[in-house]
Amino acid sequence: MTETQVIDASDPAEQNKIVELAVGLLEKGEVVALPTETVYGLGADAMNSEAVAKIFAAKQRPSFDPLIVHVGSYEQVDEVADVPDELREVIDKLMKAYWPGPLTLILSKKECVPDIVTSGLPSVAVRMSAHPLMKAIIRKLGRPIAAPSANRFGRISPTSASAVEKELSGLIPMIIDGGACREGLESTIIRPEISADAGKKGVLIHVLRAGPVTKEMLQRFGKVVRAKRNRSENAPEAPGQLASHYAPVTPLRLLAKPSDFKPEPGKKYGLLSYCGSDKAGFIGLHDWSVVEQLSPGNGKLAEAAVRFFYVLRLLDESGVDEIIAEPVSETGLGVAIMDKLRRASIR
């Protein structure tokens, strides 16, 4: 059992000290839980295979599920990935538009990236986080950081340091508490390619994981399509592609309409509601043990996205026997929310 230290990073005057502490551990081949604008990540030196192996061990993550490599500068992209000349212009435009931020690019990997990071794939997932602490730590380290979400494999992603502590306390040496995550959903993952199927724009953008950078936001860069799975369940092309993922311990059921709900006698149910309105027909459907709302009274997808994992964790810890989830509109951020609800409901 490892003693896990939680470091409060709320005081800007302490940032340099905190960066030094985190980098000191990373240089020794340890893992550190770090805040990003999406969810908390469990980071290790991406160029140190033994350190990266500790991520898989702490999370109990299968070795076939690749990791995202976080860079601290545009120059570091070329250290870990090969960008073909024909894609350079659109990749540069995407990075300029959404980096630093919640967009991950799938690119051809360079030999220097350990196979454990990419699960043996010829590609590497690359992102630049907008969180000032994450950026400062990568730059001080001088090397990219491999960092999946800081939770046990398949479980609810953490959007606070306390959620990380519940998941990984005793398994990792340090958690940097940088406050609540701004976005609340994992980054959008895309794989751009030059294709005749893309029409005049010439660029086909495959969305491998929906997230804060939506289809509508990407359409000005090329033709956007939802990527079809062409690999086995045990060999995903990118992180977060497994059918069952983001799941609470409590069984979750996503319903298309209220009439699909048939309660069992003596069973306690919790409702994951979009905005708490009875217009959807779920609130008054049953005497729920607990109701949690993604966007209380507003019905705003941006707020729902930020609160998603937080609310899901509240329901998971509420003591109900089953969580019933209302659907949300599959437009914009709603696509990512529904994708995660579907994965959370698979058992």
Domain ranges in the chain are 5-86+106-177, 252-345
DSSP per residue over 162-182, as a string?
HHHHHHHTTTSSEEEE--S-S
Q: How far apart are CA 333 and CA 338, in angstroms?
A: 9
The model carries a pTM of: 0.93
CATH number of the domain at 5-86+106-177, please?
3.90.870.10
Q: Over its length of 347 residues, how does the chain's per-residue pLDDT go in tens digits?
A: 789 999 999 999 999 999 999 999 999 999 999 999 999 999 999 999 999 999 999 999 999 999 999 999 999 999 999 999 999 999 999 999 999 999 999 999 999 999 999 999 999 999 999 999 999 999 999 999 999 999 999 899 999 999 999 999 999 999 999 999 999 999 999 999 998 887 777 899 999 999 999 999 999 999 999 987 544 456 678 887 776 678 899 999 999 999 999 999 999 999 999 999 888 899 999 999 999 999 998 889 999 999 999 999 999 999 999 999 999 999 999 999 999 999 999 86
Q: What pLDDT does 231 receive?
A: 47
| Token code pair at residue 307 | 């609160």
**In which element (H, E) is residue 325 found?**
strand 322-325
Alpha helix stretches (DSSP H) within the chain: 15-27, 49-59, 74-80, 85-98, 115-118, 132-141, 161-168, 215-218, 301-316, 334-345
Within 10 angstroms of residue 179's Cβ, the number of other Cβ atoms is 14
CATH number of the domain at 252-345, please?
3.40.50.11030
**3-class secondary structure, 183:** coil
| Token code pair at residue 118 | 């990419």
Cα dihedral 136, 208, 52, 342, rounded to 10, equals: 100
| Token code pair at residue 139 | 């730059």
Asked if residue 263 has a cis previous peptide bond (ω within 30° of 0), the answer is: no
Q: What pLDDT does 233 receive?
A: 55
Identical fold at 5-86+106-177 and 252-345? no
Q: How far apart are CA 310 and CA 208, in angstroms?
A: 24
Q: How far apart are CA 149 and CA 39, in angstroms?
A: 6
Q: How far apart are CA 145 and CA 242, in angstroms?
A: 23
- Bridge partners of 33, per DSSP, are 42, 175
